[in-house]
Amino acid sequence: MAEAAFWGFVGASSLIIGAEVAFAFRLTRFLVGLIMAFGVGALISAVSFELIVPAMETAGGAEVAIWLMIGSVVFFVGDRLIARIGGAGRKGADQAGNEDGDEGGSGLGIVLGTVLDGIPESAVLGMSLVGGAGVSIALLGGIWVSNFPESLGSTVNLVKAGMAKSKIRLMWLAIAVASAVSAAVGFWVVSNVSGATGAAVEAFAAGALLTMIADEMAPEAFSRSAVYAGLATTAGFVLALFLTTLE
């Protein structure tokens, strides 16, 4: 569990790094979009080969499909609830000084929205360590990259809203710690359930991640980097696939 917690923190560490980058630099909208698109490809690859394939090996296709849809619906409903209380703009400020998100989104909404994205991802990362296997570099990389632009946009919004940098740093640190705990819990859950149940958990998490990618990351990446998003997405997928072959 300690190893799972460690890697969960590493995956969420980009939240902290992204905030520091936002404090120090003004990254262009285009560059942030390319980073997001790369993360989309890496996560799709990781979901496919680190979650769906193992789930299919221990459970029937129908069961995996059902749990995929359940995970998708749960994420969708939770995300809509978060958006209604002010979290809709948590990814939406670009670093060039333009605003394409809701700057007025509440700090609480931003925090809850980020937790909604990050906690399931970290739990999935913890699950991937079950059975004595080492950390999935592809999944870890995809999670790290997906968190980075979210932190960039959210930090800009929070600074514009008047929140002190010290409080922003503490917020991201707290979420990173929560992600570490989530990874440990994910490891514990899958370690103590049957193979079939573990497959259901993996499929559920895959459904949630795929919905997050399609609803949030992919549209945002395309809006920022346009036609180049496809190339960056494929590059992320290929790199994650290559890393999977090394595991």
pLDDT at 82: 66
Higher pLDDT, 91 or 206: 206
Secondary structure of residue 2 in the 3-state scheme? helix
Q: Does residue 101 contact residue 91 with C-beta atoms inside 8 Å?
A: yes
Structure tokens of 243? 């890393």
Which DSSP symbol is given to 132? S
CA angle 120, 70, 240 (to 5 degrees): 50
Determine whether 223 is exposed, middle or buried from the number of CB atoms within 10 Å of its CB (0-12, 13-18, 19+). Answer: middle
Spatial neighbors of 219 by CB under 8 A, at least 6 apart, are none
- Which pTM was predicted? 0.71
Residue 21 has pLDDT above 60, yes or no: yes
Confidence label for 114 from pLDDT (cuts 50, 70 and 90):
low
Integer CA distances (angstroms), 128 to 7, 67, 111, 133, in order: 11, 17, 26, 7
Residue 66 has pLDDT above 80, yes or no: yes
Model pLDDT for residues 69-89, shown as the tens digit of each residue = 998 898 788 777 766 765 555
Confidence label for 34 from pLDDT (cuts 50, 70 and 90):
confident
Structure tokens of 198? 């573990």
**CA–CA gap between residue 239 and residue 154 (Å, rounded):** 27
pLDDT at 99: 43
Structure tokens of 137? 């570099």
Secondary structure of residue 125 in the 3-state scheme? helix
**Average pLDDT over all residues of the chain:** 77
Q: Which residues pair with 93 in a beta bridge?
A: 99
Per 3-state DSSP, the chain is made up of helix, strand and coil in percentages (nearest 5) of: 80, 0, 20
Region of residue 135 (left: phi > 0; alpha: psi -120 to 50; beta: else): beta
Secondary structure of residue 1 in the 3-state scheme? coil
Q: Does residue 216 contact residue 91 with C-beta atoms inside 8 Å?
A: yes
